Structure 1
Amino acid sequence: MSGVVKYTGYINDHFKVRGHVSLKDEDTDPPPEHVPEELEAVYREGATCVSVQCWNAAGAMFRLVIDMATKSLLPPEGEPPVAKIRRSLGFRLEWLFQNGKLPTDLQELAECIKEDGNDGAHDGTLTQNEALDLRDFTYTLLERLYTAPKRLELAATRRRERRGDA
């Protein structure tokens, strides 16, 4: 006998234990690329809730991601819009669409998604389909706000480097 079998100490002394592997780790969808860390963490929490069929918790997490992401689209404090719009996701979404800060093709779906998120957070009435709709909308919104612009930026950088313009 040699190696681990002969070792008389604790194996955990040589490893950092972060938790156990369970069903929650089996089938979670990652967020899109290039999403800010704080949004990625909340998105992953929502995805974990989906994987363990906690529909209301998932809806609340995806609504939170939408709330956080859209706050970053607002002008600095002291400029319009008014505080009521800054605080309320519904009013904020309306303002962002009216002012061209969000793609208008998402507008109709955004209203439904906001209501579903509210239902999950406040009423606890979400079904699997509503939670999955929230996940899909959140993913699409994050792709539009973060992934696509970053990919374009990286492509432009690569092009400049190839041409020697860097």
Structure 2
Amino acid sequence: MSILAYNCPHCRTSKSGFNPKHHVNFRGDASKPLTFYTCGSCGKPLVVLYKATGHNWDPKICPGDPRNHDFIINETWPKQIDLVAPKFTPENIAKFYLQGLDNLERQHFDAAGAMFRKTLDCATKLINPELKSDLNKRIKLLSENGLITKDMGEWAHQIRLGGNEAVHEDEPFSGKDAEDLEAFTKLFLMYAFTLPGMMKERKNLSGNS
């Protein structure tokens, strides 16, 4: 059996080398082979259902082998899940958040923490572009002026402090810390952009009815 180069749905390593472990024919049909692989980066499993597209396939050769040109991947388990930002998050802020998510999935926890902090930094600037102060003071002013709720202010400080730790501390940022930071960041984006966007959308629909 041959190693399969495929984007891992678990650790998101691009073109990871998947090692074949077991091979069977789906419902006894040699033109629809099933192969069980493990990721060479994270070791987690991938099941691939192939299908023959022509008449020159060889059932004795693994369908992932380049010599079997007439086999293509029909379906995989688990499926690759697209990373998404909360709805109505502005495009540039969503990009920073997705970079944080991508780094989190790849277990690059320090980079994830830094990107979640950057997401917050840009989000708070957008909420009130006139505030030119540092992030700590900006969060306090936004909360004091009622532009964000008290809870949002607390979440923002958690993201700020966690992001600072990821960037400046000598000890590596842990996966648990990065996951907590992502949860706070997601909540902040939902309250700052998703809920207002949904309300505006609803008002527009009501106005047009």
Residue number among 179, 185, 201 corresponding to 1:132 in the alignment: 179
Structure 2: state its 5+ residue gaps. 1-5, 14-79
- What is the distance in 2 between the residues matched to 1:97 and 1:137? 16
Residue number among 41, 46, 56 corresponding to 2:100 in the alignment: 46
Larger helix share, 1 or 2: 1
Paired residues of 1:28 and 1:44 also in contact (CA < 8 A) = no
- Which segment is superposed worse, 33-42 or 102-111? 102-111
- What is the distance in 2 between the residues matched to 1:30 and 1:101? 25
Q: 1:121 to 1:66 in 2, by over 3 A?
A: same
Paired residues of 1:49 and 1:57 also in contact (CA < 8 A) = yes
Write the mapping of 1:53-68 to structure 2, written as runs, cut at 5 A: 53-68=107-122
Larger strand share, 1 or 2: 2
Q: Which amino acid aligns with 2:141?
A: W
Counterpart position of 2:125: 71
Count of residues in correspondence between the two structures: 135
Paired residues of 1:28 and 1:50 also in contact (CA < 8 A) = no
Structure 1: state its 5+ residue gaps. 1-19
Residue number among 112, 131, 135 corresponding to 2:158 in the alignment: 112
Counterpart position of 2:62: none
Residue number among 33, 43, 47 corresponding to 2:87 in the alignment: 33
Q: Deviations over 1:80-128 (max 9, x none)?
A: x5x4x2xx11111111111111111233333232111101112253211
- Which segment is superposed worse, 107-116 or 62-71? 107-116
Q: 2:10 matched to 1:21? A: no
Q: Which amino acid aligns with 1:21?
A: N
Paired residues of 1:46 and 1:61 also in contact (CA < 8 A) = yes
Counterpart position of 1:160: 207
Q: Percent identity?
A: 28
- What is the distance in 2 between the residues matched to 1:134 and 1:101? 22
Q: Match of 1:72, SS? A: helix
- The alpha carbon displacement at 1:35 in A equals 1.0
Q: Match of 1:39, SS? A: helix
Residue number among 99, 103, 124 corresponding to 2:145 in the alignment: 99
Q: Which amino acid aligns with 2:138?
A: R
**Structure with greater contact order relative to length (CA < 8 Å, sep ≥ 6):** 1
- What is the distance in 2 between the residues matched to 1:50 and 1:131? 7
